[in-house]
């Protein structure tokens, strides 16, 4: 049977990158909106009504029409090609390694551990694209004189290296790795655990319905757990250096300043577009990944049968 065909580790990395990239292209406008809402929260000159999702959507459409929702798409694609290829490929590889001889899935603590490792490694590799993505998606919200005007992710990375030093590619890397640890523990471990739990109920089979239910559960858990860290990461990666001093000294400092200056619940500012982005992205990523993996197994099984 095709289900018994093993998937090489290299293919797991490729399939992970493809599935996440396709999902990103679909949900990119929501990522842009989420970043704009998070950046609006820090501007004291902006009224509360101007920080609302509805106002920001209307202003974006008024500025540039539909194209306002697609800045930084090239950076988003590069981010998935680096970050998600690594985290999904590494998680699935480690999942196989830690499974029992009878293919019994590892326990929840092991799932959490390998998810955290996969996320941290992926974040370290994908941070340069992440920095470019944050800057490109929030550029239109800056005063005209301060806008960077990057034309593509490669233009952004080249200018950042030339104007600010190549080390700036990894600005906020620790915050990004911290967020990735939280996101991947919540997302990957909860997806695997949800699949097992739903299958045990007897109401599900291993098909697209199960994948949808598991990924929706994973998306909700991931949203609540990771949004505060994501806001801190966004602030750090888009911050300016004032008189030689950075606005934030780290993730915790950024979160403390958000609570102090804007209120505790602003740690979940933009939760609707964030979930609207995380939910569909999680669902699409896992559904595409499952279907791509299954297609690979079928083709590999057919080829082995011919031989």
CA 143 to chain centre: 27
CB-CB contact of 139 with 147 (8 Å): yes
Say if 303 falls within a structural domain: no
**Is residue 139 situated within a structural domain?**
yes
pLDDT at site 211:
94
pLDDT, one tens digit per residue, over 61-95 is 887 788 888 877 888 889 899 999 999 999 999 99
Would you say residue 51 lies in a domain?
yes
- Per-residue pLDDT tens over the stretch 117-148: 999 999 999 999 988 888 887 777 677 777 88
Q: How far apart are CA 76 and CA 17, in angstroms?
A: 12
Give tens-digit pLDDT for 256-276.
988 998 888 888 887 887 787
173-184 vs 108-138: helix axis angle to the nearest 10?
130
End-to-end CA distance of the chain: 15
Distance from the Cα of residue 233 to its chain's centroid:
12
Is residue 33 a part of any domain in this protein?
A: yes
**What's residue 90's pLDDT?**
95
Task: Identify the bridge partners of residue 241 per DSSP, sorted by sequence position.
Answer: 246
Tokens of 212: 């949808």
d(CA 108, CA 197): 12
Asked whether residue 302 is assigned to any structural domain, the reply reads no
- The CA distances from residue 209 to 174, 186, 214, 286, 294, in Å, are 37, 21, 9, 12, 15
User: Tell me, what's the pLDDT at 44?
Assistant: 59
Number of domains the chain is built from: 1
β partners of residue 88: none
User: For a pLDDT cut of 70, what percent of the chain falls above it?
Assistant: 94
Range of the domain at 86: 2-297
pLDDT at 39 over 80: no
Task: Give the number of other Cβ atoms within 10 Å of residue 255's Cβ.
Answer: 20
Structure tokens at 151: 């034309």
CA distance 22 to 233: 24
pLDDT at 195: 93
Give 88-118 pLDDT, tens digit per residue.
999 999 999 998 777 788 999 999 999 999 9
Distances (CA, A) of 72 to 80, 133, 149, 154, 157: 13, 5, 11, 11, 12
Residue identified by tokens 């609570």 is 259
Q: Are the C-beta atoms of residues 14 and 38 closer than 8 Å to each other?
A: no
Alpha-carbon span 232 to 117, nearest angstrom: 21
R_g over Cα of the chain: 20
What integer pLDDT is reported at residue 249 of this predicted model? 83
With respect to residue 161, please indicate whether it lies within any of the assigned structural domains: yes
> What's the chain's average pLDDT?
85
DSSP 208-265: HHHHHHHHHHHHHHHHHHHHHHHHHHHHHHH--EETTEES-SSHHHHHHHHHHHH-GG
Contact present, 169 and 181 (Cβ < 8 Å): no
Q: What is the dihedral of CA 127, 129, 134, 140, to 10 degrees?
A: 160
- Does pLDDT of 163 surpass 80? yes
Per-residue pLDDT at 178 exceeds 90: no
Q: Which H helix or E strand runs over 51?
A: none
CATH number at residue 45: 1.50.40.10
304 within a domain of the structure (yes/no) = no
CA angle 120, 124, 128 (to 5 degrees): 140
Q: Rounded distance, CA 191 to CA 289, Å?
A: 12
Closest CA to 40 of 199, 234, 201, 188: 234
Whether residue 7 is contained in a domain is answered as yes
């Amino acid at each position: 049977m095709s289900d018994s065909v093993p998937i090489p580790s290299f293919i797991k990395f490729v399939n992970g990158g493809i599935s996440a990239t396709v999902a990103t292209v679909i949900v990119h406008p929501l990522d842009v909106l989420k970043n704009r809402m998070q950046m609006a929260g820090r501007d004291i000159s902006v009224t509360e009504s101007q920080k609302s999702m509805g106002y920001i959507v209307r202003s974006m459409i008024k500025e540039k029409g539909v194209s306002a929702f697609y800045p930084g798409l090239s950076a988003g694609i590069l981010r998935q090609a680096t970050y998600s290829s690594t985290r999904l490929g590494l998680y699935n590889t480690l999942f196989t390694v830690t499974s029992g001889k009878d293919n019994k899935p590892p326990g929840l603590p092991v799932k959490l551990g390998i998810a955290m490792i996969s996320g941290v490694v992926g974040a370290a590799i994908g941070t340069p694209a992440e920095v470019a993505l944050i800057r490109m998606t929030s550029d239109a919200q800056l005063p005209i004189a301060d806008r960077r005007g990057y034309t593509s992710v490669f233009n952004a990375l080249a200018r950042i290296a030339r104007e600010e030093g190549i080390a700036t590619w990894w600005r906020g890397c620790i915050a990004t790795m911290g967020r990735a640890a939280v996101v991947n523990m919540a997302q990957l471990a909860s997806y695997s655990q949800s699949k097992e739990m739903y299958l045990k109920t007897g109401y599900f089979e291993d098909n697209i319905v199960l994948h949808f239910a598991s990924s929706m559960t994973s998306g909700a858990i991931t949203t609540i757990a990771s949004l505060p860290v994501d806001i801190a990461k966004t602030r750090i990666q888009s911050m300016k250096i004032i008189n030689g001093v950075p606005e934030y000294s780290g993730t915790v400092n950024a979160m403390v300043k958000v609570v102090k200056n804007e209120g505790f619940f602003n740690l979940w500012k933009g939760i609707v577009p964030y979930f609207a982005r995380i939910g569909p992205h999680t669902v699409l990523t896992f559904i595409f990944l499952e279907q791509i993996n299954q297609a690979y197994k079928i083709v590999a099984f057919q080829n082995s049968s011919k031989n």
